[in-house]
């Protein structure tokens, strides 16, 4: 299929994207293995008609912050033009670059603010190749008709494993002993060094990462408590507690796995450190604003906590380099780096080869399906809408992708425009002030396409239109 957008009509055809799995992926499950033994007539669907919304050479994708090569390969296999940068870009350069691209892929350092997004004339989709999306102005993007996708699952295991390593390292003071030996000091001690077996881990936020951490911790002999704002069934013997203070009062290790929101800013501050067990440990691999770090430093100096591991910080360097982590970013940095039994890592929770490969595949697949088919399932700021694929032998079909303000009467107006053709299937959904309609219409000649587009473009509440054919 081809597409018509605000600027032009273009034609093309393509082969469907072929996605590989990461080298570290788990082998097929028993269910998958069983499915593979079924006769082909049961497991094989009809050959689907490939959708491609434009001449592939006309699609420009900007990838920043060393997005994994798996994503680049997927986009290039589609024929898109890919511009790749290993780091983030200065704001003024990003404003110039974003003007002409149809999609942009970022990680956590690039901030897509209203100031930047308002210069994006052709942008239709943003990919956050990470868990968080707080670096994007989601509401402004939605009101532009720009869908935003992220990767909520792919690095969960990597973060959970890092936390397990930090729990053991803190309990054994491994960080301090390593620094000492690197400087020539032999300090073999056992005082206040512990096994983790039989201790209690308190997990704040029992989502994808928190629940994986729970399973790993129990397998190593830890008891698990967790606190979440919603009721969630625990895995294994993990027990949900009703208040944050109950978790803090009873945990030897406290690990944070919550999003960055106004409600979670300084979630762990002076009163919470006071509620923690004497000699307990704090681990934060979620977001840098969750912990009040001056209060953490004070709690450590007072002997309230025995150690901490931080992977995230309120302000982080834009790029790697010596001297990048300094008081110029955060006024308390020099105090933090002087603390005993503090493990400080540079936001590497999801930085494994397996996680980055899986994230590249997951987000690139989301973006490709949105660009090629209009499928918005998985979008974080947008109605989630999808239609089944067209059969390969279907001809003279146009897929209408119509993003509009969520007000009464719009669907009636759109369907009046489409009424000269048979509506094969249609689906619409809304998310706040934004609504998204997908419709496949048949018996459409090439001469009809521009007329349909022009008439839809004249409707008063439209935000964005694409036609795939």
Q: Which residues contact 416 (CB under 8 A, 6 or more apart)?
A: none
- What average pLDDT does the segment 53-75 reach? 85
Query: Where is pLDDT greater, at 373 or 6?
Result: 373
Q: Regarding the domain with residue range 158-344, which homologous superfamily does it belong to in the CATH classification?
A: NAD(P)-binding Rossmann-like Domain (3.40.50.720)
Distance (Å, whole) CA 235 – CA 416: 52
Q: Is the pLDDT of residue 463 over 90?
A: yes
Question: Residue 164: pLDDT band by 50, 70, 90 thresholds?
Answer: very high
DSSP letters spanning 423-464: EEEEEEEEETTEEEEEEEEES--HHHHHHHHHHHHTSTTEEE
CATH of 3-153+354-468, one of 3.40.1000.10, 3.40.50.720, 3.30.470.10, 1.10.443.10: 3.40.50.720
Q: Which residues contact 337 (CB under 8 A, 6 or more apart)?
A: 325, 344
Contacts for 453-457: CB closer than 8 Å, 24+ residues apart: 453/4, 455/417, 456/400, 456/402, 456/414, 456/417, 457/6
Please write the tens of the pLDDT for every residue from 27-37: 333 333 333 44
According to DSSP, residue 318 is labeled: S
Question: Active site residue: 218, 316, 354, 424, which one?
Answer: 316
Across the beta sheet with 200-204, what order do the strands follow?
239-240, 223-227, 200-204, 253-256, 280-284, 305-310, 342-344
- The pLDDT of residue 15: 34
Q: 85 an active-site residue?
A: no
Note if the pTM is more than 0.95. no
Question: Active site residue: 102, 208, 287, 399, which one?
Answer: 287
Please write the tens of the pLDDT for every residue from 94-139: 999 999 999 999 998 899 999 999 999 999 999 999 988 989 999 9
Question: Active site residue: 157, 223, 347, 421, which one?
Answer: 347
Q: 353 an active-site residue?
A: no
Residue 220 has which token pair? 């190593």
Q: What are phi and psi of 226, to 5 degrees?
A: -145, 150
- The pLDDT of residue 132: 85
Query: Where is pLDDT greater, at 258 or 16?
Result: 258
Please write the tens of the pLDDT for every residue from 318-354: 888 999 999 999 999 999 999 999 999 999 999 999 9
CA separation (Å) from 412 to 407, 408, 417, 418?
Answer: 11, 9, 9, 10
Distance (Å, whole) CA 315 – CA 328: 10
Q: 316 an active-site residue?
A: yes
Tell me the three state secondary structure of residue 10: strand
Ranges for all domains in the chain classified under CATH 3.40.50.720: 3-153+354-468, 158-344
Tell me the three state secondary structure of residue 145: coil
Please write the tens of the pLDDT for every residue from 289-324: 999 999 999 999 999 999 999 999 999 998 889 999
């Amino acid at each position: 299929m081809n597409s018509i957008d605000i600027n032009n009509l273009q034609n093309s055809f393509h082969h469907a994207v072929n996605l590989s799995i990461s080298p570290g992926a788990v082998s097929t499950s028993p269910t998958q293995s069983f499915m593979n033994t079924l006769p082909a007539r049961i497991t094989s669907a009809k050959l689907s008609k490939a959708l491609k919304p434009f001449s592939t050479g006309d699609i420009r994708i900007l990838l920043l912050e060393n997005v994994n090569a798996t994503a680049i390969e997927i986009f290039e296999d589609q024929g898109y033009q890919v511009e790749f940068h290993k780091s983030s870009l200065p704001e003024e350069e990003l404003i110039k670059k974003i003007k002409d691209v149809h999609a942009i892929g970022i990680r956590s350092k690039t901030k897509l603010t209203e100031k930047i997004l308002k210069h994006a004339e052709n942008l239709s989709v943003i990919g956050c190749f990470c868990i968080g999306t707080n670096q994007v102005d989601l509401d402004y993007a939605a009101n532009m008709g720009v869908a935003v996708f992220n990767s909520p699952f792919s690095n969960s295991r990597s973060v959970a494993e890092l936390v397990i390593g930090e729990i053991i390292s803190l309990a054994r003071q491994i960080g301090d002993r390593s620094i000492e030996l690197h400087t020539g000091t032999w300090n073999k001690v056992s005082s206040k060094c512990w096994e983790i077996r039989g201790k209690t881990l308190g997990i704040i936020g029992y989502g994808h990462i928190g629940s994986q951490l729970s399973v790993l911790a129990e397998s190593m002999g830890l008891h698990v408590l967790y606190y979440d704002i919603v009721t969630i069934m625990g895995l294994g013997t993990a027990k949900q507690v009703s208040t944050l203070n109950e978790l803090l009062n009873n945990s030897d290790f406290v690990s944070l796995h919550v999003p960055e929101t106004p409600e979670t800013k300084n979630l762990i501050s002076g009163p919470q450190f006071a509620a923690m067990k004497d000699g307990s440990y704090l681990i934060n691999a979620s977001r840098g604003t969750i912990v009040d770090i001056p209060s953490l430093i004070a709690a450590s100096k007072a002997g309230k906590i025995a150690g901490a591991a931080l992977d995230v910080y309120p302000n982080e360097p834009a790029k790697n380099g010596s001297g990048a982590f300094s008081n110029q970013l955060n006024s308390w940095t020099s105090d933090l780096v002087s603390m005993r039994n503090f493990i400080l890592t540079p936001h590497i929770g999801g930085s494994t080869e397996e996680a980055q490969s899986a994230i590249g595949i997951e987000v690139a697949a989301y973006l490709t399906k949105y660009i090629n088919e209009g499928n918005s399932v998985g979008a974080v700021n947008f109605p989630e809408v999808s239609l089944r694929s067209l059969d390969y032998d279907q001809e003279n079909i146009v897929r209408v992708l119509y993003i509009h303000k969520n007000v009464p009467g719009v669907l009636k107006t759109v369907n009046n425009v489409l009424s000269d053709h048979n509506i094969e299937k249609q689906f619409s959904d809304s998310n706040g002030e934004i609504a998204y309609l997908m419709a496949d219409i048949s018996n459409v000649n090439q001469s009809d396409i521009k007329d349909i587009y022009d008439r839809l473009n004249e409707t008063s509440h439209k935000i964005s239109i694409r036609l795939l054919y």
